[in-house]
Structure 1
Amino acid sequence: MKDYVIDDDNLSLERKSILPGEGFFVPDSVEEAKEEAEAEDTLTGAEVAIVADPDADGLACTALVREAYGEGALIDAGPHDLEDALERVVEYSEPGATVFVCDLCPDTYDEVGESLEVLVEQAGEVVWYDHHQWTDTVAEAVRDAGVELVVGDSDEECTADVAVRSLNYDFPDYLVELAAVTRDHDLWIRDDERSDDLADFSYWAEPEEYIETVAEHGADLPEDVAEFLAEMRVEKDALIEKAVARADIEEIGPWTVGVTYGRCSQNEVAEALRQQGTDAAVIVKPSGSASIRGTDEFERAHEVARQVNGGGHPKAAGCKPRIYDDMLDYAHHWTTRGATAKQVIIEAFYNLDWDDEGEGGEAKDAETEDGDTEDSEAEAEE
């Protein structure tokens, strides 16, 4: 396949909105080999290692750990490759190292248990900071493995907040403020206009560039970064408009749900749909994943996501339905603008119980075609 076929620079805005980015078309085996080599280079000789989600919250935690310890080799990971990241820390970090895991929550203990137990045996200390909704079973198992686990209230704290209060270090005011502004975006409070800048910069910049910048400047990003963000937002805003225009509105029980498709910033799309009167929003991505966003009227996004191979927070969750077996399935996904993914997620909304006042109980298990139940809880990307 010619490089130009997947080169974003060759795509019109309309096609870019429909198709996934270049990285989607790189085989996992190629990407894994690259990540393995980078992990070896990063972790060799490291006395402090950090496994973190590479969003604004996870990277802020990394900056805080480095401030407190003077070092910290970063291995970025999402919920679906957390076990791989832990195994790489075991393989390449120094015996007796201090290891932090930040802004990540495993679906089940079995997913990480074996590698985590080996890591605890090898490391001097393993500390885990998070703010997602952990089940008691998983949290207890992680602690029983010998991990110092601190989980903040997902309605009140981001993981950077947890790090500030948990690390035995007197942080300068501008880094305490960094955690507060990160929380403003991560919990979708949006009272501080700087929080959108942090979120966008963490998405577009390389992780090390982001960490170095906020470690020096905190939440007040320098002028050259502001100029970079302004340039990047021209296309970002156009892609948001495409997704909002493409949205359908569904009445599901007591809720009004906006459902759309596109490569876009899901939070801004969800906000635009909220202003149109929706209680929840579903944004299906060209990569096959989807973001589910709630409001004060719908705080059950995580219950929907759990039924569709996902999980997250009451007002912000992610998932990737298990409906893609080969490239023909993805081709259908792109040409139909995510029709099958939309359908299974909408069905998950219908599976929620609700009473006459519109207040629901627990979500019902969603049965698969072979009669098994799906209740996986892996949060997809922000």
Structure 2
Amino acid sequence: MNPIDLTSDPVSLTAALVDVPSPSHHEKQLADAVETALRTIPGIPDSQVIRRGDTVAAATRRGLGQRVILAGHLDTVPIAGNVPHRMVDGNMHGCGTVDMKSGLAVYLHLFATLAGDPDLAFDLTVIAYACEEVESRFNGLGHLAVSDPEWLQGDLALLGEPSNGIIEAGCQGTLRVKITAHGARAHSARSWLGDNAAHKLAAVVARVAAYEARSVDIDGCVYREGLNVVRLESFVANNTIPDEAYAMVNFRFAPDRSPEEAYGHVVTYLALGEGFTLTLEDSAPGALPGLTQPAAAALIGTVGEVRGKLGWTDVARFSPLGVPAVNFGPGDPAFAHRKDEQVPVAQISQVAAHLRKFLTTRPA
């Protein structure tokens, strides 16, 4: 493959990134290219570029007083006949165009072109990480937080998640609980001899459906919670009363709750009695927006529009470190993971322009 030029305009750079296939667990070729490009930036010595697996990071160390972290993932969902990229009516189509190679291209471009610029107002860290689209245990940013936590330290972190070119601050937390109902198996012709576990779940489903979602305003961002059944399962045979049934329930919670508080809230609300077992399958904390922090406030002043992120993203990995984090990237997230994934090229340029202005404006 041809070398990647990080100083090329962000639209061309997006196309170059898209044209290197990088589905999860297969990011090596793209990681190699990005690492090589970062190591050729004037003024960035090898000691300021690190590689951990297929995650690559680089940093400036100019003593500018504050640090902004620019992070984006290298991987995509499986390719669906949509590589290489193609242009249609001002939109770039292709796997990863919106999630999130356009955002990563903007970040890599700005790092490369501002690293030695006298107008740079913040020291920069750029992180291109692997395995965001798969289970959390593989996540390259999570691994970096464990192996090299100092690389996630800063005054503001930006994730290149598609946000339609506006700021989506913080994120919701999420947890899943498995509710298992226990009964007794019997022939359906003699159902009174059994105890139908599936029927027991009816009250649980009704309880979840009646949940009144809380809306929370934090730093002017509204996060709406939700409790929902996302899976139901019970079966033995077509002529048999099931002795076990389960419901998987997902709770999306505002970032003012910890995962422990959120789990306790679900347990209390469901108020399960005898005959049920509740198991916490997984959980991930939310992230507070932190928009009152000076660097975050300055970014809002540049971009203008801000809202809360109604979903979970890797911004949550910065919250335990006390680093405010926002999602800021081009593209409509509704196009993520689709065969017709696409991003308006004008929005790539717009995000790059807004971010360049922010990164070259001295804090008040």
Which structure carries more helix by proportion? Answer: 1
The TM-score range, normalised by the shorter chain, is: under 0.3
The structure whose Rg is larger is 2
- TM-score by length of structure 1 reads 0.22
Which structure carries more strand by proportion? Answer: 2
Bigger relative contact order, structure 1 or 2 (CA pairs below 8 A, ≥6 apart): 2
- TM-score by length of structure 2 reads 0.23
